[in-house]
Amino acid sequence: MNVQKAEVPELPPDLSGLVGVYVKGETKAPPPPEPEPEPIPISEWPLRAGVLIEPFHTTDYDWKVGGYAGKKSLDLKSSRLGVRLDWGNGFVQLGHVLNGKQSGSITPSLVAMESLHLENGSGFAISGGYLHPFYLADGWDALVGGVAELSSVSYDLVARTLVRKENPAATPAETTDGKTPEANATATPTYSYEYGNTTSSLDLRELLLTAVAGVQFHEGFWGAYGVFCIDLVSDVKTDGSVLVNGNDLSLEADRTHPIGVEAGAWCYLFDQLRADTAVRLGSAQLLRLAVSWEW
């Protein structure tokens, strides 16, 4: 017996996408279209919270002691540990200042005072700011904004000054009859001078208002930026003095440089874990490392 196979008709090319698949005389309906994935919502005001460390944070100051000019552009070094909260383009940062010290003496070597410096600094610094982005091109934005910072640090003020020491009068010599000669009875004490360290305290408080402008580039999971920083207000207050020759000499300080440059970069290590780094030169020299979690 001859069995004739069913002929499979050819479908017109223009209708192949409109009808089912014809197999062995049967027509199968096309599978329903897969639903398009919903776009992941991107918040215009992302919230991030994290921790930061500044292994070194150095600021240059010009000093005066008792109204007399001290050294200029003297480094005041410290480290900082803190927490940071970012919301959109604004941020608030709170840090603990530790290991504050100076790289040299506030005053040149003098006869009455050989050296004067700060050490063992500890305190806090709180700052906040806002940077508004302006669209330039794909991935490029201009940044314009400002930052305010308030810091208060207490230091040990260590002075090496010339100190007068009184030497007791010599014991009057006795004569053979047990009586003291009149000349020896009127002997007076003598004095000598030598350098010694004296330690007092000094509080340094500063209010800083800084204008910031620059550019940033961002693409996907990473970005970078560079900005100029100009200190519009730098109000430095000191509370402390050093005793020299019986006189209390107060200390005054002013920032040396009002202009700085900062560059930084960021990337997402995971979906919501972000790492930041920044370097600044000029008005302050610092290295900042931060890790934050984004919601």
For residue 40, the model assigns a pLDDT of: 46
Summarised one tens digit per residue, pLDDT across range 270-285 is: 889 999 999 999 999 9
CB atoms within 10 A of CB 34: 6
286 CA to centre of own chain:
6
User: Is 22 a domain residue?
Assistant: no
User: Is 245 a domain residue?
Assistant: yes
| CATH number, domain containing residue 63 | 2.40.128
User: Is 140 a domain residue?
Assistant: yes
184: buried, middle or exposed (CB in 10 Å: 19+, 13-18, 0-12)?
middle
Secondary structure of the chain as H, E, C letters:
CCCCCCCCCCCCHHHCCCCCEEECCEEECCCCCCCCCCCCCCCCCCEEEEEEEEEEEEEEEEEEECCEECCCCEEEEEEEEEEEEEECCEEEEEEEEEEEEECCCCCCCCCCEEEEEEEEEEEEEEEEEEEEEEEEECCEEEEEEEEEEEEEEEEEEEEEEEEEEEECCCCCCCCCCCCCCHHHHCCCCEEEEEEEEEEEEEEEEEEEEEEEEEEEEEECCEEEEEEEEEEEEEEEEEECEEEECCEEEEEEEEECCCEEEEEEEEEECCCCEEEEEEEEEECEEEEEEEEEEEC
User: Is 177 a domain residue?
Assistant: no
How many domains does the chain fold into?
1
User: Is 178 a domain residue?
Assistant: no
User: Is 55 a domain residue?
Assistant: yes
For residue 29, the model assigns a pLDDT of: 62
Residue 63, amino acid: W
Degrees, nearest 5: CA angle 148-149-154? 165
Q: Within the chain, which residues score under 50 in pLDDT?
A: 1-6, 8, 15-19, 21-22, 40-42
Rounded to two decimals, the pTM is 0.75
User: Is 31 a domain residue?
Assistant: no
For residue 14, the model assigns a pLDDT of: 52
For residue 52, the model assigns a pLDDT of: 98
Summarised one tens digit per residue, pLDDT across range 246-278 is: 788 899 999 999 999 999 999 999 889 999 999
For residue 181, the model assigns a pLDDT of: 56
User: Is 24 a domain residue?
Assistant: no
For residue 11, the model assigns a pLDDT of: 52
Q: What residues make up the domain containing 84?
A: 46-161+203-294
For residue 203, the model assigns a pLDDT of: 97
For residue 16, the model assigns a pLDDT of: 47
